[in-house]
Structures are given as structure tokens and as C-alpha cells.
Amino acid sequence: MNSELGKIESFVFLPNHLHLLIRQGTISFSDRVRSFKIKSNFKISGRQTSIWQSRFWEHRICDEDDYNRHADYIHYNPVKHGYVVSPRDWQYSSFHGLVKQGIYPIDWSEGEAVSISGNGGE
């Protein structure tokens, strides 16, 4: 991926929102989000009118533990919202690719809730 834009590390797309964990590139986070919204809007909706809300929640990752908690939260989000019983059942996520890389076991989080302390955002 273009180092200017950064790299999407983890993602999940849900019917009414999405979560992205992005390794920062050389452009600002706001410009990165704006670029994503512009490029994805027409591909998703087929129209010029934006499907995205104007605001977003940003959090700068502090350390490896913070990174891991946020990645876990992202992958657990479809379970949290009641769409599936396990992250492996949700196809619109980076979870399956990370299972293939050996980062998560396929049965990760089954039977346990995942959260981020002091989350402050959705």
C-alpha cells in the first residue's frame, strides 16, 4: 500500500458503521479518512451523495497493549452488536486474514466478551 496513505492493519464493516486500525502514513489522519470516504462512496452507493457521516472518532495508539486491545475490539464488534456469535462468522473483517497469518486462532473470543477500557468512542 502507498506509504503516503498508511496501511490498514485491522478493519470491520458493519451495516451502520465501520472500524479501522491504520498505521499512519505521511498524510494526516483526517486527510486519510477523507480520501477513504471519497473513494469508497461511489463504489458502495453508485452515487455522488455521501453515505458517510461527517464526523469520526480518532485514537492514537499508545503502545503494543493498546494496539492489541483495539484490534481485538474491532474484530469482536460484530459479536458485540449481535450480528454473529463469533468473529469467524463475520466475513466483512480483517479477522480471517489475521487467522491465516497465525495472529488469531479461528475460535478466538468464543464464550468471552471483549472490550477496551476507557474506550470513549464506538
Query: ∠ CA 121-98-31 to the nearest 5 degrees?
Result: 45
Ordered by where they begin, the domains of the chain are 6-100 (3.30.70.1290)
Contact present, 25 and 5 (Cβ < 8 Å): yes
Yes or no: say if 70 and 61 are a contact pair by the CB < 8 Å rule.
yes
Cite the active site residues.
92
pTM assigned to the model? 0.78
Q: How many residues does the chain have?
A: 122
Digit-by-digit pLDDT tens for the chain (122 residues) are 445 656 889 999 998 888 989 887 777 878 877 877 887 777 777 776 777 777 788 888 899 999 999 999 999 999 999 999 999 999 999 999 999 999 999 999 987 877 766 444 44
**Long-range interactions of 85-91: CB distance < 8 A, separation 24+:** 85/110, 86/110, 90/12
How far apart are alpha carbons 26 and 51 in whole angstroms? 26
